[in-house]
A and B are shown apart, each in its own frame.
Chain A
Amino acid sequence: MKRRPFLFAALATTFLTTPAFAADVPEGVTLADEQTFTYRTLDEFSSFDPQVVEDVDGSNVVRDLFEGLYNQDADGNIVPGVALNHEASDDNLTYTFNLRDNAKWSDGTPVTAGDFVYAWQRAVDPELASPYAWYMELMAIENGASIIAGEMEPTALGVSAPDDTTLVVKLSEPLPYFTKMVTHATTFPAPKWAIEEHGAQWTRPENMVSNGAYVLTAHVPKERSVRSRNEMYWDNENTVLDTVTTYVIGDEAQGLTRWRAGEVDMTDIPAGQYPALSQEFPNEAFALPRLCNYYFNFNLASGPEAFKDVRVRQALALAVDREIIVDRVLQGGQFPAFSFTPAATAGFETPDIEMASMTQAERDAKAKELLTEAGYGEGGEPLSFTYLYNTSEAHQQVAIVATQMWKQKLGVDVTLENQEWKVFLETRGAQNYDMARGAWCGDYNEASTFLDLLTTESGYNDAKFSNARVDELMAEAKSSNDPQPLYTEVEQIVAAEMPVIPIYHYSTNIMLSESIQGWPINNVEQNWYAKDLYRIAD
């Protein structure tokens, strides 16, 4: 088998000699005496077990406690973690990762390829029943789906360790973005001996063994968690922050108050407060692009008859003035959207979409024309439907503004209906709606994480959009070396068919104390590592 060494091989050699991927403190900066970082989280974490954790805040902690094959740098590119580099076979179905030999667990045991094999088998094991087992399925690891379905033993998973520093992964499909997926918590190694000794309690601070730059030293659920520097971490000497503390603060406004009082270094900005706060704290209020979209689903399966007419869908999409929603209503640095995939997605070029290049006046005129043509609106049949969203002030504001635009410009009557989150999910999932809010955050930084949603078979295709060409293109993209033209075509089909109306792409709004430096503001997944941060003296 001919193997193509990955670009990393060259990078990794330099990497071993210079701390290029640890906290990068510029010359002349005075570090604070106390290297601490404190931040707010909204909820208690779902778990600290890498194969079980399913929330964003929990994953942020797990990324500090454990280190996977690769990490992300400040721009979201993959950089060596436990793996130094990898080789892919010609058919891209076999990946061989070469692991560093100096990585250690916090109890001093070396980190081996076997720890990854154990962890990955664990992730698909029906006995652990991890809700994130789907991620392994998404990674297309050989036999993953059959193991989850209980048809094969976990040991049949396509991952093996010929020796302690070699990990071989076999895929069932040649995913072009496979290596990007191994920065995810589900793929982190797990310490078999600690898990077997303590069972579900192995994630308690007193029992936990981890291989990341930090170890868990205290955890008071729903109040705080503290992680401290892991002396055994292979790059410990280049880690600057000593302790990282999280406080669970359920109330956003209270989070901001405690940020003002200096009790936390970082907190989310409550909806609508970004403009005022960025005036008051120009160097500490951030609006960063984020890998999430916001859209309206048409129910194409059992919604109003009118939605079956593409002109009606186009008209409604055209009449929404996204600038107003973004600049006047949300005011948090969001981006008006005409494509489903956010522009910030790595390697994704937003295709030319006609609607995007029109002025709003042109869009409005075209909307009226299309709706009249379809026989609805002024002079035609009255159009009315219900818009469903999950209870939240921000969603309500968007709903009111958008439906007012339809009312004023097109004479369309929309009834608003809001439901509590889980009720909403059930209703939407069962297609018991006319039009419903939708939003999606990328699982990895590649366009397919969004566009896969629009394929016929997708479980998250709430609009029930089905287009044979889209299915074909997305299947092709899974093994293509250059999927961008395929994605462009999918976006163009979606813009023409308009099964969903893209409204905006999210931004992350945070207050971050000026003394904390090294934040990866360009990483659109907002995957940050405390080992890359440092606190400067006031």
Chain B
Amino acid sequence: MLNYTLRRLLMVIPTLLILVIFAFYLMRLAPGGPFTSERPLPPAVMANVLERYGMDEPLYVQLWTYIKNIICCFDFGPSFAQKDRTVNDVIAQGFPVTLTYGFWSAVFVLMLGVPLGIIAALRHNGFWDYTMTGLAIFSQIFPNFVLAPLLVLLFTLSWGLLPGGGWNGGQWQYIVMPAIALGTSYMASVARLTRGSMLEVLGSPYIRTARAKGLPERTIILRHALKPALLPTLTYMGPVFVYMITGSVFVDVFFSTGGIGQDFIDGAYSRDYSILLGLAILYAVLTFALTLAVDLLYAWIDPKVRAGLS
């Protein structure tokens, strides 16, 4: 198990390197640069600006300096658009925001999606099944850009219960709507996934055996059926969780949370290369970490997988 984990961790290094090189060149293919503006800078001013940011060097030198600075000093460079700040500043400020509401959104997804799925499976083809499935499909057809304005219309404008946006240090009133807007359609998917795999597990021979032995229904569901039934949900939640905590561009912009989702889009528009690259690396590292975590959880849940690993 330890061996496996180490092996996986070692694989991260070459993968990240490829990602950085690829992203570095790809970004520069887009026409325009961080200092392209409506008023073109006079050549002398442009030369000074480029020199200050090391952009007067050939691309491969810039790339090498970039990688060197990361390895030696964990320095991801200055932001081109927010001139008083570095990439580290930007991520240190924005990431905790998206992590917070992303986390609560994931809690919302699991706490609501999984029970809904189980209930639907247990009452297969019954009233509750149809209600839950209906509800799940209903929430899935509500993309966040439709749901978010609806939430604001109700909670802010009509009832005056919640602020229409902002973050204010992460008080709960500011988290509710972003978390719901971000999570609702995933919640629906989780409910449907859980329902499907629960139905499959409930039809399997070992559950029939357990029932034949006269085990209480509660034990059968919670102890024997739930764990394997959650495997597909778990696979699904790994990348979804990365997506959630790295911030949805829409939710960040709409609710003005100050999270890093907004930096993705701003960085792309303003050609803030260093921000984009920094975020791409963050995104990649999180994806690695969470897929690894999911795989390890798999091993914990499923003895067959555990046997395969060691």
Residue numbers of A with Cβ under 8 A of B are 43-49, 52, 54, 126-131, 133-134, 137, 145, 148-150, 200-201, 203-204, 220-224, 247-251, 253-254, 257-258, 260-261, 263, 420-423, 425-427, 429, 439-440, 459-460
B157 pairs with A261, CB closer than 8 A: yes
B36 pairs with A425, CB closer than 8 A: yes
Kindly identify which residue among B82, B167, B271 contacts A44, using a CB–CB cutoff of 8 Å: B82
**In the complex, what residues of A have CB within 8 A of residue B258's CB?**
220-224, 248
Q: Beyond A133-B48, A223-B256, A247-B256, is A258–B165 a contact (Cβ under 8 Å)?
A: yes
- CB of B90 within 8 Å of the partner chain: yes
**In the complex, what residues of A have CB within 8 A of residue B269's CB?**
420-422
Residue of B nearest to A55 (CB): B81
Kindly identify which residue among B31, B45, B89 contacts A134, using a CB–CB cutoff of 8 Å: B45
B266 pairs with A43, CB closer than 8 A: yes
Q: Beyond A222-B258, A254-B164, is A126–B157 a contact (Cβ under 8 Å)?
A: no
**In the complex, what residues of A have CB within 8 A of residue B164's CB?**
254, 257-258, 261, 263
B94 pairs with A222, CB closer than 8 A: yes
Contact sample, A vs B, 8 pairs, CB 8 Å cutoff: A54-B37, A137-B42, A257-B157, A257-B164, A422-B271, A425-B38, A426-B36, A459-B39
Residue of B nearest to A53 (CB): B83
**In the complex, what residues of B have CB within 8 A of residue A257's CB?**
149, 152-153, 156-157, 164
Residue of A nearest to B253 (CB): A250
A421 vs B270: C-alpha distance in the bound complex, in angstroms? 9
B31 pairs with A254, CB closer than 8 A: no
The interface centre, meaning the residue of B40, B83, B257 with most chain A CB atoms within 10 A of its CB, is B83
Kindly identify which residue among A130, A247, A459 contacts B42, using a CB–CB cutoff of 8 Å: A459
Binary CB contact string for chain B from 28 to 69 against chain A (1 if under 8 A, 0 otherwise): 001111011111111011001101100000000000000000
A44 pairs with B40, CB closer than 8 A: no
A439 vs B38: C-alpha distance in the bound complex, in angstroms? 9
B156 pairs with A423, CB closer than 8 A: no
A134 vs B48: C-alpha distance in the bound complex, in angstroms? 12
Residue of B nearest to A429 (CB): B40
A427 vs B45: C-alpha distance in the bound complex, in angstroms? 21
A222 vs B94: C-alpha distance in the bound complex, in angstroms? 8
**In the complex, what residues of B have CB within 8 A of residue A204's CB?**
84
Residue of B nearest to A45 (CB): B82
Kindly identify which residue among B52, B93, B156, B262 contacts A250, using a CB–CB cutoff of 8 Å: B262
* Shortest beta-carbon distance from A54 to chain B in Å: 8
A254 pairs with B165, CB closer than 8 A: yes
Q: Nearest 7 A-B pairs (CB), nearest first?
A: A422-B32, A223-B258, A129-B52, A222-B258, A250-B253, A149-B44, A129-B48
B51 pairs with A129, CB closer than 8 A: yes
B31 pairs with A126, CB closer than 8 A: no
Residue of B nearest to A204 (CB): B84
B84 pairs with A148, CB closer than 8 A: no
A423 vs B270: C-alpha distance in the bound complex, in angstroms? 11
Kindly identify which residue among B32, B85, B149, B259 contacts A425, using a CB–CB cutoff of 8 Å: B32
Number of interface residues of B (CB under 8 A): 52
A200 pairs with B31, CB closer than 8 A: no
**In the complex, what residues of B have CB within 8 A of residue A224's CB?**
166, 258
* Shortest beta-carbon distance from A469 to chain B in Å: 25
Q: Beyond A126-B48, A251-B254, is A134–B157 a contact (Cβ under 8 Å)?
A: no
**In the complex, what residues of B have CB within 8 A of residue A48's CB?**
84
* Shortest beta-carbon distance from A520 to chain B in Å: 25
A251 vs B40: C-alpha distance in the bound complex, in angstroms? 27
The interface centre, meaning the residue of A129, A247, A248, A460 with most chain B CB atoms within 10 A of its CB, is A129
B256 pairs with A249, CB closer than 8 A: yes
- CB of B160 within 8 Å of the partner chain: yes
A14 vs B240: C-alpha distance in the bound complex, in angstroms? 67
Q: Beyond A44-B82, A222-B262, A224-B166, is A131–B42 a contact (Cβ under 8 Å)?
A: no
A426 pairs with B93, CB closer than 8 A: no
A46 pairs with B157, CB closer than 8 A: no
A263 pairs with B254, CB closer than 8 A: no
Q: Beyond A223-B256, A420-B269, A427-B31, is A249–B165 a contact (Cβ under 8 Å)?
A: yes
A201 pairs with B84, CB closer than 8 A: yes
* Shortest beta-carbon distance from A255 to chain B in Å: 9
**In the complex, what residues of B have CB within 8 A of residue A129's CB?**
45, 48-49, 51-52
A253 vs B254: C-alpha distance in the bound complex, in angstroms? 9
B266 pairs with A44, CB closer than 8 A: yes
- CB of B163 within 8 Å of the partner chain: yes
B51 pairs with A263, CB closer than 8 A: no
Kindly identify which residue among A254, A423, A439 contacts B32, using a CB–CB cutoff of 8 Å: A423
* Shortest beta-carbon distance from A513 to chain B in Å: 15
A497 vs B269: C-alpha distance in the bound complex, in angstroms? 36
Residue of A nearest to B258 (CB): A223
**In the complex, what residues of A have CB within 8 A of residue B257's CB?**
223
A422 vs B90: C-alpha distance in the bound complex, in angstroms? 23
**In the complex, what residues of A have CB within 8 A of residue B30's CB?**
422-423
Q: Beyond A44-B82, A46-B82, A145-B44, is A221–B93 a contact (Cβ under 8 Å)?
A: yes
Residue of B nearest to A146 (CB): B44
A465 vs B271: C-alpha distance in the bound complex, in angstroms? 30
* Shortest beta-carbon distance from B267 to chain A in Å: 11
A460 pairs with B39, CB closer than 8 A: yes
Residue of A nearest to B93 (CB): A221
* Shortest beta-carbon distance from B78 to chain A in Å: 8
**In the complex, what residues of A have CB within 8 A of residue B94's CB?**
221-222
B49 pairs with A131, CB closer than 8 A: yes
A273 vs B213: C-alpha distance in the bound complex, in angstroms? 70
B167 pairs with A223, CB closer than 8 A: yes
User: Which residues from 85 to 106 on chain B have a C-beta closer than 8 Å to any C-beta of chain A?
Assistant: 85, 89-90, 93-94
**In the complex, what residues of B have CB within 8 A of residue A52's CB?**
83-84
**In the complex, what residues of B have CB within 8 A of residue A46's CB?**
81-83
B36 pairs with A49, CB closer than 8 A: no
* Shortest beta-carbon distance from A196 to chain B in Å: 16
**In the complex, what residues of A have CB within 8 A of residue B40's CB?**
429, 459-460
**In the complex, what residues of A have CB within 8 A of residue B165's CB?**
247, 249, 254, 258, 263
Kindly identify which residue among A134, A145, A263, A422 contacts B41, using a CB–CB cutoff of 8 Å: A134
B51 pairs with A126, CB closer than 8 A: yes
**In the complex, what residues of A have CB within 8 A of residue B153's CB?**
257
B83 pairs with A49, CB closer than 8 A: yes
A261 pairs with B156, CB closer than 8 A: yes
**In the complex, what residues of A have CB within 8 A of residue B48's CB?**
126, 129, 133, 148, 150
Kindly identify which residue among A133, A201, A203, A423 contacts B45, using a CB–CB cutoff of 8 Å: A133
